Structure 1
Amino acid sequence: MAQERRRIVVAGASGLIGGALVRSLAADGHEVVRLVRHAPRGEREVRWDPERGRVDAAGLDGCDALVNLAGAGVGDRRWTDAYKRRIHDSRVHATAGLAKAVAALDEPPRVWVNGSAMGFYGETGDRVVDEDAPAGSGFLPELCVEWEAAADPARDAGVRTVFTRTGLVVARDGGAWGRLFPLFRAGLGGRLGDGRQYWSYIALHDEVAAIRHLLDRDDLSGPFNLTAPEPLTNREITEAMGRVLHRPTVFAVPAPVLRAALGEMAGDVLGSARVVPRRLLESGFVFAFPGIEDAIRAA
């Protein structure tokens, strides 16, 4: 997309990934239009209400691409029934509303990249899974299945649609690592549970580069795992954090303590997801920070 200036609509532009993507696109001269909840402050903002699935469709007409990364943070709060409903509605209702609006446009975007998550696969244990693996069971897998299906109206209307099943993003200012870095810098870092669960991670730089790769390639559609090529166990990642930050990693949080503190969400922290980006690698994408130490240093 660097060859010509495009008009790209981004939902979730204030989030960790969305913010980094907007900065990357703007730096290359693209016109970025943000979907916002407040009254638009100019032509580069479009009003929407994601939980109710409402969007000002006129602001989408004629855009070249749409990227939807909106959704309440999965790890931001304990999973009460009310918050689980917010996690669901902010993804499924938002995607469904956008899909219906896009399908009705006279000039729909050529490509739609819609967020998803490696949570699609659920608990995988030591088993390596790629995009051909079926969905798992539980709240997050069922959410991801419904989330991706909500885009069907746009796909049925002929819009090239891509789903980014993103892993744990290694970044300084948000996501799981945004919480881990202060603990490790204080010398309080350590494994979670027995540390044998696999964590599939990706550097923020590679996450943004992968999204742009998927926007650029007219021959790519469907699900793509956005994870580094070699998932590691929580114990291995903990040791790498200690090496890079020159801090001890002697502390450990027992599984019962995590369950007591986090409730149902503890299953996501203690669960194992050994997810690999087969389709992304086959498409020719090259990771800048494939190893965990490089990803940590980049953050």
Structure 2
Amino acid sequence: MEPSRIAVAGASGLIGGALVRSLESDGHAVVRLVRRAPRGAGEVRWDPERGRVDTAGLAGCDAVVNLAGAGVGDRRWTAAYKARIRDSRVHGTAALARAVAALDRPPRVFVCGSAIGYYGETGDREIDESAPAGTGFLPEVCVEWEAAAAPAQEAGVRTVFTRTGLVVARGGGAWGKLFPLFRAGLGGRLGDGRQYWSFVALHDEVAAIRHLLERADLSGPFNLTAPQPRTNAEITTAMGRVLRRPTLFAVPAPVLRTVLGEMAGDVLGSARVRPARLLGSGFRFAFPEIDGAIRAAL
């Protein structure tokens, strides 16, 4: 990919920060979307909750990547926080899509973050991008989130949806909370441990986004998950094996529901998701297995 000018929303987050570092290391110019007053030419002001973006600041960008959104696991799901989860994604995506569509020279590609929460509870059933949306709060958010990109699609901009799984990384997300527990010997199975976790190494997440940025023939939804999901019990065993710590502490489902409230459904739920379209496009994972993904994070 020739050096390009790429706008990134959510550049301070776990995935966005890693993507920006990767792009800049290869000579790309990155424009960060920020909620405060810009501090230079490399920043553009926006307000995702209010649906506002400085459209002029996106002029000349070859690609726009939207990875912004309030953290799903950052706090208990009160009604107010659920509204924030939704609004930060839907309103922000809609604002960027309108801005992209309004440009005299739109970017070549608009990459929109999404999540495997789109599919909801899948149990033991293996699914890919052809599966319909599930039911419940997260699937509803994901459906609205992706639909909000319609103005860019209608303007003829190649639009990609990255349905990301559980990112294995030390710096944030679910694994950012798991690593300290397992290092202390306090890690263990969650619930009965039979629920599938569709994980992806942070390295592969970034590599997949870059693959989708570069391939002009790819559009629509792509699952960003490792090829073989593992159960929570298998992942617990792998964490103990890699970190050389015991994994004796199991957290019963009722306790999780008491502590986490509605969010416990996301932890105890099963999503056996495969990246069929990504593999079909020729992408190759550096860390397809859970042990390798954990070691890469460390």
Return the TM-score normalized by structure 1.
Answer: 0.99
- Structure 1 residues 192-250: Cα deviation after superposition (integer angstroms, max 9, x where no partner): 00000000000000000000000000000000000000000000000000000000001
Whole-angstrom distance in 2 between the partners of 1:270 and 1:103: 40
Secondary structure at 1:83 match in 2 = helix
Listed as ranges, the matches of 1:133-282 within 5 Å are: 133-282=131-280
Q: Please name the residue that 1:13 is paired with.
A: 11
Match of 2:281 among 263, 279, 283: 283
Secondary structure at 1:276 match in 2 = coil
Secondary structure at 1:253 match in 2 = coil
Whole-angstrom distance in 2 between the partners of 1:236 and 1:247: 15
Which amino acid in structure 2 is aligned with residue 230 of structure 1? Answer: Q
Deviating runs (4+, > 4 A) in structure 1? none
Secondary structure at 2:49 match in 1 = helix
Q: Please name the residue that 2:103 is paired with.
A: 105
Which amino acid in structure 2 is aligned with residue 155 of structure 1? Answer: Q
Q: Which runs of 5+ in 1 are unaligned?
A: none
Q: Please name the residue that 2:66 is paired with.
A: 68
Give the CA deviation at 1:253.
0.3
Which amino acid in structure 2 is aligned with residue 86 of structure 1? Answer: R
- Structure 1 residues 75-121: Cα deviation after superposition (integer angstroms, max 9, x where no partner): 00000000000000100000001111111110110001100000000
Q: Please name the residue that 1:28 is paired with.
A: 26
Q: Which runs of 5+ in 2 are unaligned?
A: none
Whole-angstrom distance in 1 between the partners of 2:242 and 2:93: 39
Return the TM-score normalized by structure 2.
Answer: 0.99
Whole-angstrom distance in 1 between the partners of 2:3 and 2:108: 14
Secondary structure at 1:114 match in 2 = strand
Which amino acid in structure 2 is aligned with residue 115 of structure 1? Answer: G
Secondary structure at 1:67 match in 2 = strand
Whole-angstrom distance in 1 between the partners of 2:186 and 2:61: 47
Give the CA deviation at 1:62.
1.7
- Structure 1 residues 119-170: Cα deviation after superposition (integer angstroms, max 9, x where no partner): 0000000000100000000000000000000000000000000000000000
Sequence identity (%): 82
Q: Please name the residue that 1:40 is paired with.
A: 38
